[in-house]
Structure 1
Amino acid sequence: MKPVLIVQNDPKEGAGQLTTLLSARGLKQERVFGYDTDYDRVGSAGYAALVVLGGAQSAYETETYPYLAREMALCQDFMQAGKPIAGFCLGAQILARTLGGEVVPGAKKEIGWYDLTLTEDGAGDALLTGHPKTLLAYHFHGDRIENVPGATNLASSVMTPCQLFRYGSNVYGFQYHAEVDEPLVELMCRNNADYMAANGFDAETIIGESRRHLPIFAGACKQILDRWIDLIPGQAP
């Protein structure tokens, strides 16, 4: 079976529990760095699915980070091939822009633990069956997604109207960090401690909060991610 392509936009921050779940299924993974890869080599023909991860870049900063436009083209390639895609944080914003949506700066940074609330469409989504109507979720972003043509908004928070969207039946954009496990949360916070402090957040405080909140959150996200993995064709029964 072809591997899952994982595009990492931060040199240190990987796919957390999603990597663990893919490995448990026996699915091969190929990780590339969005800012340093041969996009002529990593087309959809060679892979079963695509994952695009987060980073400090903004999806609208294509002049500063020209490779973001190549990531959007890659997403378009996988969508045209009908292959599953999951984007997380920046990855979701890249998906949104690929589809003609907007990504704009939020009024405030949403970093740490905030309630995630399913929309009516979210409550009926196949990946979200059994998901709590409201769940305390982990966030780390300053931009927000708006007006994605053809997409269905599945979840929101008080600060961010679009926290999760679906396009078609197998393309999902997670503004919140459904992929995290405890090591990834700790790495994310310590990797960005100065940025967090400059915006009024303390990395160690959020790490402490995460140790309390993560088990329930990660358990709910495991179900979502497992169901997304189910969408990848060619797996052994």
Structure 2
Amino acid sequence: MHLHLLQHSPHHGPGRIADWLTSMGHSHTVFHLHAEEAPPSLSDGDGLILLDGPMHVLDDEDYPWLKRERKLIAKALHGSKPLLGIGMGARMIAAELGATVGRGTFAEVGWHEVTLAPESPFDLPERFTAFMWHRDVFALPDDALPLGGSQGSPVQGFAWDAGRALGLLCHLEVTRTDVDELLTHSERPEGSDESPHAQPAESILADGRRFDQLAPLLDRLLSQWIHRAPA
């Protein structure tokens, strides 16, 4: 399979996703929308992955390419190819499905436990720790199943159309290098200073094993997702 990856910011890259695709025999192309690269044609690939970004899903004035991306997402949802969104990418899919997207009560930054929803169609541990970097959240779209929730965000993900379309608020793909990049070059999500769910940089980086523990979770999730709708 050949996957299209849409990147919205120089500091929110694909992380381990790129290496996972290569290791599994899949090819991929990264489209840097933030650098004014045009989004791909859906017909040229076998699946679509939307990465995170710091902007709001309707921030068209500052990011006019968001309109073209929304059209691409709509086509993907009405098609048959696998679609994955992470962070802002998940919020864009949720919005296209008619779900409410907006600012959450608290920012979530750092490492937080996710409890798997009983209805989740994906086989993951009942509890696992994921990396968080957000304030904006989404409601569960109609006809979607929840993946799980955290203390700060009850909806951490959703699966739609039998899991062909998957949205994740949390991050399983990040490496220590990715998080170093965020902490150094990207503004922390709004409200991080006041949030009880936002950790300081030294706590986030204190245990490097956390990053290693994400790898099998990512493998487990992507392996199930990519076979939900073979192209």
Does TM-score exceed 0.5, indicating one fold? Answer: yes
Aligned equivalent of 1:223:
220
CA distance in 1, matches of 2:8, 2:73: 14
Structure 1, residues 207-236: CA drift from partner, whole Å, max 9, x if none? 224x132222332222112222334636xx
Residue 204 of structure 1 and its aligned partner are, at CA, apart by: 3.7
Secondary structure, counterpart of 1:61 in structure 2? coil
Q: CA deviation at 1:196?
A: 6.4
Measure the CA separation in 2 of the matches of 1:84 and 1:17. Answer: 18
- The answer to whether the 8 Å contact 1:197/1:203 transfers is no
Q: Over residues 158-210 of structure 1, what are the superposed CA-to-partner deviations in whole Å (9 max), with x where a residue is unaligned?
A: 11111010110211000001222332222222222x5369833532431224x
Specify which of 144, 156, 168 is matched with residue 174 of structure 1: 168
Alpha-carbon contact 1:48-1:83 (below 8 Å) kept: yes
The residue number in structure 1 matching 2:52 is: 54
For 2:83 and 2:189, locate their aligned partners in 1 and report how far apart those are by CA, in whole Å: 29
Distance 1:197 1:47, change over 3 A: closer
Deviations 1:119-168 (A, max 9, x none): 1111xx1xx32x22111211110111014122111111111111010110
Distance 1:62 1:15 in 2: 23
Q: Which runs of 5+ in 1 are unaligned?
A: none
In the TM superposition, structure 1's runs of 4+ consecutive aligned residues that sit over 6 Å from their partners are: none
Unaligned runs of 5+ in 2: 194-198
Contact 2:135 2:190 in 1 (8 A): no
Number of aligned residue pairs: 224
Preserved CA contact (<8 Å) 1:68 1:94 = no
Using structure 1 for the length normalisation, give the TM-score.
Answer: 0.86
More helix by share: 1
- SS in structure 2 of the partner of residue 97 of structure 1: helix
Residue 120 of structure 1 aligns to a residue in which SS? coil
Aligned partner letter, 1:229: I
> Secondary structure in 2 aligned to 1:50?
strand
Deviates more, 1:88-97 or 1:11-20: 11-20
Given that residues 140 and 146 in structure 2 are in contact (C-alpha distance below 8 angstroms), is that contact kept between their aligned partners in structure 1? Answer: no
Q: Give the direction of change, closer, same or farther, for the CA distance of 1:61–1:45 in structure 2 (3 Å limit).
A: same
Written as runs of structure 1 = structure 2, the 5 A alignment for 1:71-220 is: 71-122=69-120, 125=121, 128-129=122-123, 131-169=124-162, 170-192=164-186, 195=188, 199-200=192-193, 201-209=199-207, 211-220=208-217
Alpha-carbon distance in 2 for matches of 1:220, 1:195: 25
Kept after mapping to 1: 8 A contact 2:173/2:214: no
SS of structure 1 residue aligned to 2:188: helix
Cα RMSD (Å) of the superposition? 2.1
| Counterpart Cα distance in 2 of 1:37 and 1:108 | 33
**Any idea what SS the aligned residue of 2:119 has?**
helix
Alignment identity in percent?
25
